[in-house]
Structure 1
Amino acid sequence: MTAFLKAARVVADLDDDFYQDERQREVWNEASAVGFQSFQWTALVAGAVLPWIAGRGGAMVAIGILAAWFVLAMVTIAYARARDVDVYATMKTLRPRSIFAVTLYLAGVAGIYIELADPFRYDGATWAGMVVGALVGGGAAATVLMWVRRRDRRREAEEAARDAADV
Structure 2
Amino acid sequence: MALRQRIARLAQAYAPHEHRPLDGYLVAMGAFGTMAGALAAAARISGRPVPERPGLGDVALVSIATHKLSRLVAKEAVTSPLRAPFTRYTAPAGSAELHEEVRDEGSPVRHSIGELVTCPFCLAVWVSTALTGGLVLAPRLTRLAATALTATAASDFLQMAYCIAKKHAERD
TM-score by length of 1: 0.33
Q: Which has the greater radius of gyration?
A: 1
TM-score by length of 2: 0.32
Q: Which has the higher strand share?
A: 2
Q: Which has the higher helix share?
A: 1
Report 1 or 2 for greater relative contact order, CA contacts < 8 Å, sequence distance ≥ 6.
2
